[in-house]
Amino acid sequence: MVSTRPDLTLSGEHDELRSTVRQFLAATANVRQVMETADGFDRSSWKQMAEQLGLQALLVPERYEGLGQGPVEAQIVFEEMGRALYSGPYFASVALATNALLCSGDEAACGDLLPGIAAGTTIATLALADGTANRDGDGWVLEGSHRFLPNGHIADLFLVTARTDAGLSLFAVESADPGVKARALESLDLTRKLAAVTLAGAKARLVGEDGGATEIVQSTLDRARVALAAEEAGGAARCLEMSVEYAKQREQFGRPIGSFQAIAHRCVEMLQRVEFARAASRYAASCLAAGTSEFPVAGRVAAAYCGSAYRWVATENIQVHGGIGFTWEHDAHLHYRRSWASETLLENTDQHYLAIADRLGL
């Protein structure tokens, strides 16, 4: 049923989900060690997350061995992921790959591929580019190169767009195929590495209709943007906490710097963007869950607001901390890096603004 108003109520179960995820991420946090590794990924905590909480299965319907939760629950989990700067391929596997498979409506592909993603045994990501696909017997082979894939260097499965005679189509490619070469790129965001992938005669499976990728990609990205916005809202909330805590204890001129209006007002402006960002991502998630006609605009509004809010708050967080905030050892730059990278990941703020004008019919 299409409803005209989103349901904005959160239940006790939602609070419980939030605190469970927060506790898990705090207990397994080792962001700084992990970011120094080549893969930027801690496989043991990923496994633990799947076994103890089943978070990788969150959006996967029960018939594909998932938890069958929706966008509202996902918004909560992604907010917590963003707070904790979680470095595993959660966004790639859940927000991008799971959504792409679900949006494809391809029951067979979902049945074959989603249970592995849900169990955390398959790490998947999405690559959008103009490769080409040619028929090869019953299957397809792909040529092309793709850049900026979140966690592409550790993925087992790629969902890739490529052109066929029928138009842009979606394919699934396994990283184990000899035609696939993936490597991590040095990335601004140390907690979410991007990768480049080259496909040279890689065996592929068509997902959805031949020529049907344009719509699949649009709805996948609309969904993924809500997850990204939630991450951004969570990251911004953490930056605010860091700033306020520091402003209370750091003394200069014989008093806490938080008693200076220049600092206090900046913190209030950060609070405003944090609260509004959290509201925007939650509202968009509720619209998506309820299937309201407002979603296409609300999703882009959340993307635009949360992206620029996080970048601004992460930037001001460094300023509030002064010199210590500009050191390698302090975590402020990890959020700063993540915020700049996230704001650009699924189109940037200007592109969201233009999309809002388009979608409102201007």
Partner 1 sequence: MSDQPALEEFLAEAEAFLASRYPLRASEEKTRFQWGEGSDEVRVFQEPDPVEEAEALPRIREWRAALWDAGLAWISGPTEYGGRGLPRSYEAAFTRLTRTFDLPGDAALTVSLGMIAPTILRHADERQKSEYLPALHRADLIACQLFSEPGAGSDLAAIRTKAVPDGDRWLITGQKVWTSGAHLADVGEIICQTAPEPRHRNLTAFLVDMHAPGVTVRPLRQMTGGAAFNEVFLDGVEVPDSARIGAIGEGWRVAVTTLSHERSAMGHSAFGGAGILSTERLMQLIRHAGAAEEPVVRRAFGELVTELRVARYTQEIMAEKARTGQPPGPEIALNKLALSDNMAALAEFVTSVLGPRLIADTGEWGTYAWTSVVLGAPGYRLGGGSDEVLKNMIAERVLGLPKPS
Q: How many residues bind partner 1 (CB under 8 A)?
A: 43
Q: Does 16 bind partner 1 (CB under 8 A)?
A: no
**207, burial (CB in 10 Å: exposed 0-12, middle 13-18, buried 19+):** buried
The CA angle 220-65-109, to the nearest 5 degrees, is 50
Select the residue interacting with partner 1 from 282, 311, 321, 338 (CB under 8 A): 282
Pairing of strands 194-207, 139-150: antiparallel
Site for partner 1 in 285-344 (CB under 8 A): 297-298, 301-302, 304-305
Selected binder of partner 1 within 275, 292, 331, 348 (CB under 8 A): 275
Task: Please identify, among the stretches 102-110, 120-128, 188-196, 251-259, the one whose residues bind partner 1 according to the rule CB under 8 A.
Answer: 251-259
Choose between 172 and 306: whose C-beta lies nearer to partner 1: 306
Shortest distance (Å) from residue 7 CB to partner 1: 9
In angstroms, what CA-CA distances link 356 with 301, 322, 359?
7, 37, 5
Kindly state whether residue 12 participates in binding partner 1, applying the rule CB under 8 A: no
Binding flag, residue 166, partner 1 (CB under 8 A)? no
**Long-range CB contacts for residues 34-41, cutoff 8 Å, separation at least 24:** 34/87, 34/191, 35/87, 35/190, 35/191, 35/334, 38/184, 39/153, 39/154, 39/184, 39/193, 40/87, 40/184, 40/190, 40/191, 40/192, 40/193, 41/87, 41/88, 41/89, 41/151, 41/154
Interface with partner 1, residue 356, by CB under 8 A: yes
Shortest gap between Cβ of 216 and partner 1 (angstroms)? 25
Among residues 261, 323, 328, 329, the one that binds partner 1 under rule CB under 8 A? 261
Residue among 52, 265, 291, 324 that touches partner 1 (CB under 8 A): 265
Q: Does 248 contact partner 1 by CB under 8 A?
A: yes
Number of residues assigned to the chain? 362
Instruction: List residues near partner 1 by CB under 8 A.
Output: 8-9, 244, 247-248, 255-256, 258-261, 263-265, 267-269, 271-272, 275-277, 279-280, 282-283, 297-298, 301-302, 304-305, 350, 352-358, 360-362
